[in-house]
Amino acid sequence: MRKLMVYDIDYDIENETPVIKIFCLDKDGNLFLVKDYSLIPYFYVLPKKGMEDRLKEMIEKIDEKKVKTKILRVEKVEKIIGLNEKRIFLKIFVQNPRKISKVRDEIKEWEEVEETYEYTINFYKRYLIDRKISPMSLILVDGEEKEKIGYIEIKANKIEVLKEIDEFKLRILAFDTEWVEEKNDERIIMISLVSNDGKIKKVLTFKDWKDKPNYVEVLKNERDLILRFFEILKEYKPHFLVGYNSDGFDFARLKRKIEKYKIRKEVGVFKSELKFVRRGRVSAAQIKGIVHIDLFIFVNHILAPTLKSEVLTLDEVAKELIGEGKKEMEYKDMIEIWSTEKGLTKLAEYNLQDSILTIKLANLLLPQIFEISRLVGEIPFDSSRYTYSQLVESYLVRRAFEENRIILNPPKQEEKEIRMMRLPYKGAIVIEPKEGIYSNILVWDFRSLYPSIIVTHNISPETLNCGHEECKKNQAPETKNYFCTKIEGFIPRNLKKLIELRYQIKKELKEIPKESIEYKSLYNRQYALKIISNATYGYFGFVGARWYKAECGEAAAAWGRFYIKKVIEEAKKKGFEIIYGDTDSLFARIEAKNEKELEEIGRKFTEEINSKLPGIIELEFRGLFKRGIFVSKEREKGGAKKRYALLAKDGSIEIRGFETVRRDWCELAKQIQRKVLEIILKEGNEKKAVEVVRETIEKLKKREVDIDDLVIYEQLTRPLEEYEQIGPHVKAAKRLMEGGISIVEGMLIGYVIVKGSGSISDRAIPAQFVSKEDYDTDYYIHHQILPAALRVLKGLGYTEGDILGKGKVKSLESFFGK
C-alpha cells in the first residue's frame, strides 16, 4: 500500500483498451506511475418513453466493424434530469473511448432515441469523476510494483480516495528564455532555471566570457542549449515546470527550434512527448508527468480583476504580488550586449531574475491553483488554464455525477450562434459618475451579491417557471420569470455548499495565526470557493455552458438592481451624495468633522443596511479614500463604464479603465496620461496637469522629442500579401521590404507618422528611416497626446481648445500673479 498524491493524469490505448496513467508522488517527492485498467468507457442514451427495451436490443446488435469498437454491454439505469424527473437511460459500454463518438453518431438519429448524453467527456476526466479522485489530493494504492529508471510503476489492484490533506514535497522548476532577432532569424540565447528547493539556479547560454558568474553554464550552440534544458528536466525530475507567458512565447518559439534541429520530443523520466494542445489563439505546451503551468494565463483569467495593476506584465504582477520587479533592460540593450559581447553578466542576471520572480510567483500561486483543482476536480494543467466559466462547469459536472443527475451536453456551434444572437438582457445598474475630482470618498462593495441572490431566490435552469401556482410570488423584478420555491435547484444547492463552506473557513481563519502554513492553505481554499461562487452568475450567460440559461442571468441581474437601488435610496435618505455606483459598488460623500468621524458614519450605515438585507446578502465597507477622479466613457452604449482612479490613504493609486498602456500608443502618449493622473490625484492640481500637457505639445512642435518616444508598434499577424486592409503597419512593413529588410509573419513593426499628404497609412514610415525633422507634429498632438490626456481631463471640463488655446490658463495665472 502506498499513500500518494495525484498531480497529473493521462491515458493510453493498449490493444484497443484504455489504460489510465496516474502520475503521483510520495511524501518525499519520489515519482510513481499508477496504471489502472478498471474503468470501462461509456456514454448514455435517453430512449423515448416505452422504447427502452427495444432500443437496448438494437444497440446490442450494432456491427462492430461499422463503429470500429466493441460494444461490451448495455445497461438500463435510472438517472435524474430536469427539476426532479427520474428517467431510464441506457448506459452503453464500449471498448475504445476514442470511438464513443462513432457509436453515438450511429444511433443518434434513430427514431427510438430522444437524446444522447456524456459522449464528450474526455476519458481521463471521466476517470477522475467516476472514481471521485481530486487532483492534488491523496490516494491509497495497492498493486504490483515495478522499478523503472527514475520512478516506480504500479499496476493498481485497488485505489482508495483519502480525505486527509498532507504536506508533500513538490519540486517546482521555473524557467525563462531570452531571444534576439538575428539575420531574419530568431535565436535563443539564454535559458534560466530556478527551482523552489534551491538546488537549481542556472543560466544556460552558448557564448563564453571572462569573470562570468558561477551559475552560468556555457554550451556549444543553440541546439545543445535546448538539449541541456531537457537533460536538466530528466535529472532534476520536477513535478511542475513553470513559466510566465510560456505557452504563448517560450514554448511557442522552442517548438520551431525543436523542429528545426529535429530534437527528440520525449521528455523527462516518463519519456512523455512534448505536445502542443490547441487552446484558442495559443497552444498549451504539455508534458505529461512534468506539469507545465503558464502563470500568465492564470493571472490573466483568474487574478486580473483582483489586481490593482492595469497591465499584466511579469514586472507589474511580480511587484504587486511579491514586492519585487524585473531587472531593467530594454530589448535594444539585449541585442547590443549579445552582438558586442559586452555586459553578458548583466544579461545573465536579467535572465536569472525572471526565473527567480517566476518561482516566487509559483510559490504563491500554485497553492491557489491546487485548491481550485481540488475543488473542481481538474488536473492543474487544465485548472490553471481555465476561465471562470470553465471552472464553474467542471464543478457542476462533478456535482451532477454525485447527485446521479445526467450531465447536460455542451452546445454545438449552431446552438452557440443562436445563443449569441439573443438580445442582451438588461444588466447591472450604473449610476453615472458625476465627473470630477473628489476628496474623502466612502466606498462600499456588494461583491457576493449575485451568488446570494441565486441561492436566496433559487435561480436555476430547471427551477425556471416550474408551473406551481404558489411559486409565482418568487418572480424576478421587471420580468415575467419566476423560480420554484418547493424544490431546491441544482445550481443553488451546490452554490450554497460553496458559500457555506467558505463562511465556515473564514470563521476558522480568524482563530489561526496569519503566518502559519495552515492559515495560508485555508486562505487559498476560501479563495477557490470565492472564485467559483462569484462566477456562477456569469456562467448562466456563457454561450458555451452546458447549464446555460439566459433567463437565470437576467433574473439575477434584475434582483441585483433591486437590492442596490434600495441601498442607494437609503443612502440618500441619510444625506449621502452619491458620486458613482456600478453593479455592486457605491462611491459616496458626506460632510463630517474629520476622517475618523467619516469612517464611523460609513461603518454605522453599513450595519444598518445589513440588518435590513435578507438572508446572506451583505454589504461590505471598503473604507475611506483620500481623493478620486471620475470620468465617464463617451460613445459607450448602455451608459458609462468604470473609469476612475483612486488615491488610498497609504498613497497608492488605483487606476481603472484608462487604457493607453497598449503598444499601439506611442511612449509619449502613455507617459503623458500617467503624469496627468498622478498630478491630479497626488497634488490635486488640474492646472499643473494641463500645463504638463502643453509643455509636451510645445516640445513636439520644437521637435525636441526623441523619435523613440513616438514609435507606434503593431504586429504583422499574417504574411504581407494576405492583407486586404492595408493599415499603417502593413504599409510600413512594405517599405521595410523595399529597403531590403525581409519581413516575416509575426514581426513587430515600429513606425512613425511623418509630414506630408495622404492617409495615415501613406505616411507610416519604419522607425529606422525617420529622423526628428520628419515626424508629423499635428498627428502626434491630435491623435496621440491630446486623446490620451483628454481621457482624463475631459471629465474635469477641459476641451481640446482649452489645452491648445494658447495662454488661456497662463494668462489668467499671469493676471493674478503666481
Contact positions with DNA (CB under 7 A) in 199-258: 244-245, 248-249
Instruction: Give the residue, chosen from 663, 688, 794, 810, that forms a contact with DNA under the rule CB under 7 A.
Output: 663
| Residue 97 found at the interface with DNA (CB under 7 A) | yes
Cβ 1 to DNA shortest distance, Å: 30
Contact positions with DNA (CB under 7 A) in 732-751: 748
Residue 45 CB neighbours (<10 A) = 26
| Residue 183 found at the interface with DNA (CB under 7 A) | no
Instruction: Give the residue, chosen from 724, 757, 815, 816, that forms a contact with DNA under the rule CB under 7 A.
Output: 724
Distance CA(95)–CA(70), nearest Å, equals 5
Cβ 280 to DNA shortest distance, Å: 3
Residue type, 256: R
| Residue 754 found at the interface with DNA (CB under 7 A) | no
- Counting beta carbons within 10 angstroms of the beta carbon of residue 203, is it exposed (0 to 12), middle (13 to 18) or buried (19 or more)? buried
Tell me the three state secondary structure of residue 157. Answer: strand
Closest to DNA by CB, 626 vs 791, is: 791
Residue 662's closest CA among 697, 614, 712?
A: 712
The site map against DNA for 187-206 (x = CB under 7 A) is --------------------
Distance CA(574)–CA(562), nearest Å, equals 19
Instruction: Give the residue, chosen from 119, 576, 605, 658, that forms a contact with DNA under the rule CB under 7 A.
Output: 119
Distance of CA 598 to the CA centre of its chain: 37
Angle at alpha carbon of residue 323, lines to 668 and 663, rounded to 5°: 25
The site map against DNA for 11-40 (x = CB under 7 A) is x-----------------------------
Q: Scanning the structure block, which residue is given the C-alpha cell 492543474?
A: 380
Closest to DNA by CB, 662 vs 772, is: 662
Cβ 21 to DNA shortest distance, Å: 12
Instruction: Give the residue, chosen from 214, 611, 725, 757, that forms a contact with DNA under the rule CB under 7 A.
Output: 725
Q: Scanning the structure block, which residue is given the C-alpha cell 438592481?
A: 561
Tell me the three state secondary structure of residue 187. Answer: strand
| Residue 718 found at the interface with DNA (CB under 7 A) | yes
Closest to DNA by CB, 279 vs 520, is: 279
Instruction: Give the residue, chosen from 53, 664, 683, 695, that forms a contact with DNA under the rule CB under 7 A.
Output: 664
| Residue 713 found at the interface with DNA (CB under 7 A) | yes
Residue 282's closest CA among 262, 296, 271?
A: 296
Closest to DNA by CB, 30 vs 761, is: 761
Question: Which of 97-105, 151-159, 160-168, 565-573 is the region at the interface with DNA (rule: CB under 7 A)?
Answer: 97-105
Report CA-CA distances (Å) from 668 to 96, 694, 702.
60, 13, 15
Cβ 531 to DNA shortest distance, Å: 16
Number of residues that bind DNA (CB under 7 A): 73
Question: Which of 436-444, 503-511, 513-521, 654-662 is the region at the interface with DNA (rule: CB under 7 A)?
Answer: 654-662
Question: Which of 133-141, 171-179, 427-435, 502-510 is the region at the interface with DNA (rule: CB under 7 A)?
Answer: 171-179
Instruction: Give the residue, chosen from 2, 3, 91, 98, that forms a contact with DNA under the rule CB under 7 A.
Output: 98
Of all helices (H) and strands (E), which one includes residue 161? strand 151-161
Contact positions with DNA (CB under 7 A) in 347-376: 354
Residue 583's closest CA among 658, 647, 624, 642?
A: 642
Question: Which of 199-207, 438-446, 756-764, 801-809 is the region at the interface with DNA (rule: CB under 7 A)?
Answer: 756-764
Tell me the three state secondary structure of residue 653. Answer: strand
| Residue 662 found at the interface with DNA (CB under 7 A) | yes
Instruction: Give the residue, chosen from 727, 777, 800, 804, that forms a contact with DNA under the rule CB under 7 A.
Output: 727
Contact positions with DNA (CB under 7 A) in 511-550: 544
| Residue 760 found at the interface with DNA (CB under 7 A) | yes
Strand partners for 140: 3, 160
Residue 87's closest CA among 47, 127, 126?
A: 47
Cβ 54 to DNA shortest distance, Å: 22
Instruction: Give the residue, chosen from 36, 176, 371, 686, that forms a contact with DNA under the rule CB under 7 A.
Output: 176
| Residue 76 found at the interface with DNA (CB under 7 A) | no
Contact positions with DNA (CB under 7 A) in 387-446: 387, 389-390, 393, 410, 413
Of all helices (H) and strands (E), which one includes residue 64? helix 64-67
Torsion of CA 223, 229, 234, 235, to 10 degrees: 120
Q: Are 564 and 446 in contact (CB under 8 A)?
A: yes
Closest to DNA by CB, 589 vs 641, is: 641
Instruction: Give the residue, chosen from 495, 716, 736, 793, that forms a contact with DNA under the rule CB under 7 A.
Output: 716
Contact positions with DNA (CB under 7 A) in 292-351: 296, 300, 311-315, 331, 334
| Residue 101 found at the interface with DNA (CB under 7 A) | yes
Contact positions with DNA (CB under 7 A) in 261-290: 277-282
All residues at 6 or more sequence positions from 15 whose CB lies less than 8 Å from its CB, including other chains:
none
Closest to DNA by CB, 387 vs 485, is: 387
Closest to DNA by CB, 393 vs 686, is: 393
| Residue 757 found at the interface with DNA (CB under 7 A) | no
Distance CA(796)–CA(695), nearest Å, equals 19
Distance CA(318)–CA(309), nearest Å, equals 10
Instruction: Give the residue, chosen from 333, 723, 743, 777, that forms a contact with DNA under the rule CB under 7 A.
Output: 723
Closest to DNA by CB, 6 vs 357, is: 357
Q: Are 712 and 666 in contact (CB under 8 A)?
A: yes
Q: Are 395 and 377 in contact (CB under 8 A)?
A: yes
Contact positions with DNA (CB under 7 A) in 448-507: none
Closest to DNA by CB, 662 vs 808, is: 662
Closest to DNA by CB, 522 vs 720, is: 720
Cβ 643 to DNA shortest distance, Å: 9
Cβ 520 to DNA shortest distance, Å: 26
Residue 88's closest CA among 77, 99, 80?
A: 77
Closest to DNA by CB, 52 vs 354, is: 354
Question: Which of 59-67, 95-103, 490-498, 671-679 is the region at the interface with DNA (rule: CB under 7 A)?
Answer: 95-103
Instruction: Give the residue, chosen from 485, 585, 761, 777, that forms a contact with DNA under the rule CB under 7 A.
Output: 761
Report CA-CA distances (Å) from 27 to 166, 179, 378.
8, 38, 22
Instruction: Give the residue, chosen from 201, 265, 783, 794, that forms a contact with DNA under the rule CB under 7 A.
Output: 783
Distance CA(152)–CA(145), nearest Å, equals 7
Distance CA(767)–CA(664), nearest Å, equals 14
- Counting beta carbons within 10 angstroms of the beta carbon of residue 301, is it exposed (0 to 12), middle (13 to 18) or buried (19 or more)? middle
The backbone torsions φ and ψ at residue 205, rounded to the nearest 5 degrees and listed phi first, read -155, 180
Residue positions counted in the chain: 818
Strand partners for 504: none
List alpha helices for 237-283, DSSP H.
251-260
Give the CB-side neighbour count of residue 337, counting CA atoms within 13 A: 23
Closest to DNA by CB, 224 vs 415, is: 415
Q: Are 385 and 301 in contact (CB under 8 A)?
A: yes
Question: Which of 28-36, 121-129, 400-408, 736-744 is the region at the interface with DNA (rule: CB under 7 A)?
Answer: 121-129
Residue 225's closest CA among 249, 204, 194, 256?
A: 204
Cβ 426 to DNA shortest distance, Å: 15
Tell me the three state secondary structure of residue 615. Answer: coil
| Residue 46 found at the interface with DNA (CB under 7 A) | no
Instruction: Give the residue, chosen from 715, 742, 771, 814, that forms a contact with DNA under the rule CB under 7 A.
Output: 715
Question: What residue ranges in 37-129 does DSSP mark as E strands?
Answer: 42-47, 71-81, 85-94, 113-117
